[in-house]
Amino acid sequence: MHKKTILDDGSYPYLVDGARLVGDCGIPSLMDLKNTQIPTSLIPFSKAKNRRLRVRRGYVHFYEHDKYFLNVLTSTTRYLDILKLYDGVITPDCSMVRGRARCIQQVNTYFNRAVGFYLQKNGIPVIPNIRWSDENSFDFCFLGVPLHSIVSVSTHGCIHSKKEKAFFILGLETMLKFIKPSAVIVHGHMPKEVFDRFIGSCPFYRFPSLFEQTHSGR
């Protein structure tokens, strides 16, 4: 018997059983997010899954290379017991690359919300990670997130060049107008030239990336 692939049963439909699908591409809507809070800390999934860790506080995030959390998308149930040990989870940061096929970007947005919805159904507080590529993704990448909720973004690896900063600013501005979040978690640097124009629109809470933490002594 051949091993199942991601396409054999329609990309794991159990993840979105009961979810409301929105938009032309059917992005799953997250449930009410009122049980979320500003995290005390952020823990990368690659560390959080270590069963020997003693401290299980903060929110687990996936601001890492996709290869480190691929199994969470394809075997979500397997990680429920570990993720339930923490205060909550920020939804997977599936790559959104400018110029990549639109359907691939839609699939990555789909899994971001689908995993989040499934974790919610299993009692885990979820903060939606918002990821965009360019303006061509704006009609679907903000879908499925309740208005006025806490959301999270990452600047890590996204604002190196002037062009990247311009795309990030455009996406952040559009997201703030579309979702009207009550607060924004920022993973990574918050340079003034990017964020100063948005200060006052809602509270921002910055958390250093793992790279920053491990290289701060240099």
pLDDT at residue 188 tops 70: yes
Closest CA to 210 of 188, 183, 178, 182: 188
Q: Are 178 and 141 in contact (CB under 8 A)?
A: no
Q: Can you tell me the distance from the alpha carbon of 213 to that of 188, in angstroms, rounded to the nearest whole number?
A: 10
Each residue's pLDDT tens digit, 81-127: 999 999 999 999 999 989 899 999 999 999 999 999 999 999 999 99
From residue 103, give the alpha-carbon distance in Å to each of 2, 24, 137. Answer: 27, 12, 10
Place of tokens 């018997």: 1
Whether residue 12 is contained in a domain is answered as no
Whether residue 4 is contained in a domain is answered as no
Residue 213, pLDDT score: 67
From residue 8, give the alpha-carbon distance in Å to each of 75, 77, 109, 159, 178. Answer: 14, 18, 20, 37, 35
Confidence of residue 2 (pLDDT cuts 50, 70, 90): very low
Q: Are 5 and 95 in contact (CB under 8 A)?
A: no
**Which residues constitute the domain of residue 105?**
17-30+39-215
Tell me what percent of the residues of the chain surpass a pLDDT of 90. 81
pLDDT at residue 210 tops 90: no
Closest CA to 198 of 208, 209, 186: 186
Total-model pTM: 0.91
From residue 90, give the alpha-carbon distance in Å to each of 38, 61, 124, 208, 211. Answer: 11, 5, 10, 15, 18
Whether residue 138 is contained in a domain is answered as yes
Whether residue 184 is contained in a domain is answered as yes
Whether residue 3 is contained in a domain is answered as no
Tally of domains in the chain: 1
Residue 21, pLDDT score: 97
Each residue's pLDDT tens digit, 133-171: 999 999 999 999 999 999 999 998 888 899 999 999 999
Residue 98 host element (H or E): none
Each residue's pLDDT tens digit, 24-41: 999 999 999 889 999 999
Whether residue 7 is contained in a domain is answered as no
**Residues with Cβ < 8 Å from 116, sequence gap 6 or more?**
28, 30, 89, 91, 92, 126, 128
Each residue's pLDDT tens digit, 40-76: 999 999 999 887 776 678 999 999 999 999 999 999 9
Whether residue 145 is contained in a domain is answered as yes
Q: Can you tell me the distance from the alpha carbon of 154 to that of 156, in angstroms, rounded to the nearest whole number?
A: 6
The average confidence (pLDDT) of the chain is 91
Whether residue 68 is contained in a domain is answered as yes
